[in-house]
Amino acid sequence: MDAIDLHILRELQEDGRLTNQELAQRVGLSASPCLRRVRQLEQDGVIRGYRAIVDPQAVGRGFEVLVSIEVRRDRETVEAFEAALRDIPDVIEAYRLFGSPGCLLRIAVADLAAYERLWIERLTTLGGVTEVNSQIIMKRIKEPRGLPVED
């Protein structure tokens, strides 16, 4: 990747709805070479997709919780646990970690009662779970805005 590709990535992370013409103007290319570069970045897997950023309150999921979970650390248990997490729509991010805790989740639900139901009915019943700790998000200080892409 060269400086123009990196500039393309910065611009698209800022606004993924830019037209090719607008993007080309911002990065100093004509439309055709710009489109070729974007398509190549997509084909190479550098650009993995495009998304809308949705306001959690607007869709009834304004209550967010960070949850650390300990799971027995044998391969079969971990694989089953991870597969089960993928089937819980309230879990919007999940990470397996080195050390303790073994897993960190970001959960978005309507309110405390909805989280309590999820905690009782799903999280604590997952196979291999030995501990569940919840941290309620008071305020989002910095939103995900993409990766820093520097020349």
Average pLDDT over residues 121-143: 94
Q: For residue 151, what pLDDT band results from cuts at 50, 70 and 90?
A: confident
Q: For residue 133, what pLDDT band results from cuts at 50, 70 and 90?
A: very high
55 φψ region: left (φ > 0), alpha (ψ -120 to 50), beta (else): beta
Rg of the chain in Å (alpha carbons)? 20
What is the distance of C-alpha 7 from the center of its chain?
22
Q: Are 90 and 118 in contact (CB under 8 A)?
A: yes
Closest CA to 6 of 20, 21, 27: 27
Q: What is the mean pLDDT of the chain?
A: 95
Share of the chain above pLDDT 90, in %: 91
Q: How far apart are the first and last CA of the chain?
A: 10
How much is the pLDDT for 110?
97
One-letter amino acid of 22:
E
One-letter amino acid of 69:
I
How much is the pLDDT for 146?
85
What is the distance of C-alpha 101 from the center of its chain?
19
pTM (2 decimals)? 0.85
- Token pair of 70, please? 């300990």
Average pLDDT over residues 1-13: 95
29 pLDDT higher than 90: yes
Q: For residue 12, what pLDDT band results from cuts at 50, 70 and 90?
A: very high
Q: What is the pLDDT of residues 44-95, one digit of tens each?
A: 999 999 999 999 999 999 999 999 999 999 999 999 999 999 999 999 999 9
Average pLDDT over residues 123-148: 92
Average pLDDT over residues 9-27: 96
Residue with tokens 């998304």: 51
